[in-house]
Amino acid sequence: MSELDGLLIRDLRVSFDGFTAVDGVSLTVPSGDIRFLIGPNGAGKTTLVDAVTGLVRATGSVRFGTHELLGRPVHRISRLGVGRTFQTATVFEELSVLQNLDIAAGARRGWAILARRRRGVPDEVAAALDTIGLAGHAEQPAGTLAHGQKQWLEIGMLLVQDAKLLLLDEPVAGMSHEERDATGALLETVSRDRTVVVIEHDMDFLRRFARTVTVLHAGRVLSEGTVAQVQADPRVQEVYLGHPVDTGSAPSGGE
């Protein structure tokens, strides 16, 4: 696990018409980490991910491995192994699980190779199906999947694109307890040889699956560390509860 393979953000700034949504954020997420990004509504979490993935203009520096990402177009950043999900799943509902994965894989491989392999299931697609637990649903239209399964399919689509940095925006929102558990296990599996950044409001999920936590507030890093360190930080308690608490049980929720 080396910093060189991870995500290095330095003095990141994003402004919208004079309003500064991300205000000088520096962050280091080493390879193999599962970093949770939390903070109240409007803290700048999604905007930070937008900046890393090239969706909004930003200043500062975002390095992934040896590559500077800032200034590159979205598709180039994706080809450097950076993948993200959005809060609402963006799968092709009428197509099967397998077809969704094949299209995602094709976006990287090129259509010529895809056409040649059309009759078999490519190795990376079969592997992704197993990893996301949807091998038994390969032929099912994605639109008929359960909510949690759609999120897993989206993660599978990043895996077949060979994403090495996964940025997931509130992946367990609306999931059942069982689906959350399965998602946590999936994050642990994919983080073995990847870097994972998760934006999440669900504190129970965070306590169980975060390796490290960064708290954003008003576009800045408020606190950072292990779950226990961040929970014990009076500044974090203040932001989440409006006042510091005596016990180590805060934060208790952001939404």
Ligand X SMILES: Nc1ncnc2c1ncn2[C@@H]1O[C@H](COP(=O)(O)OP(=O)(O)OP(=O)(O)O)[C@@H](O)[C@H]1O
**Residues in contact with Mg ion, total (CB under 5 A)?**
1
Among 9, 29, 36, 45, binds ligand X (CB under 6 A): 45
CB 52 within 8 A of CB 69: yes
> Which span sits near ligand X by CB under 6 A: 41-49, 103-111, 205-213, 242-250?
41-49
CB 62 within 8 A of CB 8: yes
- Choosing among ligand X, Mg ion, none, which partner's interface includes residue 106 (Cβ < 5 to 8 Å by kind)? none
DSSP letters spanning 104-162:
HHHHHH-HHHHHHTTTSPPHHHHHHHHHTT-GGGTTSBGGGS-HHHHHHHHHHHHHHTT
45-104 residues near Mg ion, rule: CB under 5 A: 46
Rounded Cα–Cα distance for residues 6 and 169 (Å): 19
In the shown chain, the binding pattern of residues 166 to 205 toward Mg ion, with x for contact by CB under 5 A and - for none, equals: ----------------------------------------
In the shown chain, the binding pattern of residues 1 to 40 toward ligand X, with x for contact by CB under 6 A and - for none, equals: ---------------x--x-x-----------------x-
CB 140 within 8 A of CB 127: no
| Closest separation in Å from C-beta 241 to ligand X | 17
Q: Is 69 exposed, middle or buried (0-12, 13-18, 19+ CB in 10 A)?
A: buried
Among 11, 42, 90, 185, binds ligand X (CB under 6 A): 42
- Choosing among ligand X, Mg ion, none, which partner's interface includes residue 43 (Cβ < 5 to 8 Å by kind)? ligand X
How many residues does this entry show for the chain? 255
- Choosing among ligand X, Mg ion, none, which partner's interface includes residue 44 (Cβ < 5 to 8 Å by kind)? ligand X
- Cis peptide, bond prior to residue 122, ω within 30 of zero: no
- Choosing among Mg ion, ligand X, none, which partner's interface includes residue 65 (Cβ < 5 to 8 Å by kind)? none
Among 9, 27, 29, 46, binds ligand X (CB under 6 A): 46
CB 209 within 8 A of CB 172: no
| Closest separation in Å from C-beta 238 to ligand X | 17
Nearer to Mg ion, 46 or 231 (CB): 46
Rounded Cα–Cα distance for residues 57 and 71 (Å): 8
| Closest separation in Å from C-beta 22 to Mg ion | 12
- Choosing among Mg ion, ligand X, none, which partner's interface includes residue 52 (Cβ < 5 to 8 Å by kind)? none
CB 221 within 8 A of CB 43: no
Pairing of strands 34-38, 212-217: parallel
**Residues in contact with ligand X, total (CB under 6 A)?**
11
- Residue 159 corresponds to which amino acid? L
Contacting residues toward ligand X, per CB under 6 A: 16, 19, 21, 39, 41-47
